[in-house]
Chain A
Amino acid sequence: MIPAAFDYVSPKTLQEAVGELQKHGQEAKVLAGGHSLIPLMKLRLSTPSFLVDIGRIGNLSYIREEDGQIAIGPLTTHHDIEFSDLLKNKLPLLTSAASQIGDPQVRNRGTIGGAAAHADPNGDFPACLLALDAEFKVVGPTGERSIAAKDFFVDTFTSSLEPNEILREIRIATPAPGSRATYLKFSRRSQDWAIVAVAAQVRVTGHEVTQVAIGLTGMGTRPIRASGVEQALRGKAGHDDELRAAAERAADGTDPQEDLNGSPDYRRHLAQVLTRRALELITAHH
Chain B
Amino acid sequence: MAVSQMIGASIKRREDPALVTGTGTFVDDIPQTAVVHMAIVRSTEAHARIVAIDTTRAKDADGVVAVFTGKELKAEFGAPLPVTVTFVPEKKYPNYYPIAVDRVRFVGEPVALVLASSKAAAEDAAERIEVRYESLPPVLDMEKAIMKDAPVIHEELGSNLSYDVKRSVGDIEAAFKEADVKIKQRLIQQRLIPVAVETRGVLADFKPFTGKLTIWSSTQIPHFVKVFAAVILGIPESNVRVVARDVGGGFGSKIRVYPEEILTALASRRVGRPVKWIEDRSENVKATHHGRDQIWDVEVAAKKDGTVLGVRATQWLNLGAYCSQFGTFMTLGLLVAPGPYKLKAFDGRLIGVFTNTTPTDAYRGAGRPEATFLIERVMDLVARETGVDPADVRRTNFVKASEQPFTSLFGFTYDSGDYQMTLNRALELIDYKAFRTEQAEKRKQGKYLGIGLSTYLEICGLGPAAPTQANTGVSLWGMSVVNVHFTGKATVITGSSPHGQGHETTFAQVASSALGIPVADIDVQHGDTAIGPMGMNTYGSRSAAMDGSAVHVSSMKVVEKAKKIAAHLLEAAEADIVYEGGKAFVKGTPSKSITIQEIAGAAFQTNRLPAGMEGGLEATTFFDPPNFVWPFGAHVAIVEIDPDTGATQILRYVAVDDCGTRINPMVVDGQLHGGIAQGIGQALFEEAVYDDSGQLRTGSLVDYLIPTAADLPNFELEATETPSPSNPLGVKGIGEAGTIASSAAVVNAIVDAMQPFGVKDITMPATPQKVWQLTHKNGGRKR
Contact = CB atoms under 8 A, between A and B. Distances in A.
Interface of A: 1-2, 4-5, 43-44, 103, 186, 188-193, 195, 260-263, 266, 269-270, 273-274
B707 A186 contact: no
A262 B769 contact: yes
Given A188-B768, A190-B708, 17 more contacts: A2-B119, A2-B123, A4-B124, A5-B124, A43-B700, A44-B127, A186-B647, A188-B705, A189-B711, A191-B708, A191-B710, A193-B702, A195-B768, A261-B769, A262-B769, A263-B769, A270-B645
Interface string B236-269: 0000000000000000000000000000000000
B282 A1 contact: yes
Contacts of A1: 280-282
Nearest to B646: A266
B410 interface: no
A113 B628 CA distance: 60
Nearest to A263: B769
Contact of B685 (A4, A186, A188, A193): A188
The 8 A-B residue pairs whose C-beta atoms are closest, nearest first, are A190-B710, A1-B280, A2-B120, A273-B644, A189-B711, A266-B769, A2-B123, A262-B769
B705 A192 contact: yes
B697 interface: yes
Contacts of B124: 4-5
Contacts of B710: 189-191
Interface in B673-701: 684-685, 689, 697-698, 700
A193 B282 CA distance: 20
Contacts of A192: 705
B767 interface: yes
Nearest to A277: B644
Contacts of A5: 120, 124
Interface of B: 119-120, 123-124, 127, 280-282, 644-647, 684-685, 689, 697-698, 700, 702-703, 705, 707-708, 710-711, 767-769, 772-773
A55 to B, nearest CB: 23
B689 A260 contact: yes
A260 B711 contact: no
Nearest to B283: A1
Given A188-B705, A190-B708, A190-B710, A260 B698 contact: yes
A43 B711 contact: no
A120 B120 CA distance: 29
Nearest to A189: B711
B647 to A, nearest CB: 7
Nearest to A270: B645
Contacts of B702: 193
Contacts of B644: 273
Given A4-B124, A270-B645, A189 B119 contact: no
22 contacts: A1-B280, A4-B127, A5-B120, A43-B700, A186-B645, A186-B768, A188-B684, A188-B705, A188-B767, A189-B708, A189-B711, A190-B708, A191-B710, A192-B705, A193-B702, A195-B768, A261-B767, A262-B769, A266-B646, A266-B773, A269-B772, A273-B645
A2 B280 CA distance: 9
A274 B123 CA distance: 45
Nearest to B768: A188
Contact of A190 (B700, B711, B767, B773): B711
- With a 10 A CB-CB cut-off, give which of B689, B700, B772 has the most chain A CB atoms: B772
Nearest to B689: A260
B677 to A, nearest CB: 12
A195 B645 CA distance: 11
B639 to A, nearest CB: 15
Nearest to B280: A1
B523 to A, nearest CB: 36
A274 B768 CA distance: 14
A189 B772 contact: no
Contacts of A189: 685, 705, 707-708, 710-711
Contacts of A43: 282, 700
- With a 10 A CB-CB cut-off, give which of A2, A5, A274 has the most chain B CB atoms: A2
A192 to B, nearest CB: 7
A38 B710 CA distance: 25
Contacts of B646: 266
Nearest to A190: B710
Contacts of A270: 645
A145 B281 CA distance: 42
B270 to A, nearest CB: 23
Nearest to A276: B644
A103 B697 CA distance: 24
B703 A260 contact: yes
A22 to B, nearest CB: 28
A193 B281 CA distance: 20
A190 B705 CA distance: 11
Contacts of A193: 702
A193 B707 CA distance: 14
Nearest to B711: A189
- With a 10 A CB-CB cut-off, give which of B280, B282, B644 has the most chain A CB atoms: B644
B711 to A, nearest CB: 5
Contacts of A44: 127
A2 B711 CA distance: 30
A283 B378 CA distance: 47
A2 B282 CA distance: 11
A274 B645 CA distance: 8
Contacts of A195: 768
A47 B767 CA distance: 35
A190 B709 CA distance: 9
Contact of A260 (B119, B697, B707, B773): B697
A263 B768 CA distance: 11
A193 B647 CA distance: 15
Contacts of A260: 689, 697-698, 703
Contacts of A4: 124, 127
A135 B712 CA distance: 40
A120 to B, nearest CB: 12
A259 to B, nearest CB: 8
Contacts of B698: 260
A27 B345 CA distance: 69
B230 to A, nearest CB: 32
Nearest to B707: A189
A258 to B, nearest CB: 11
Contacts of B281: 1
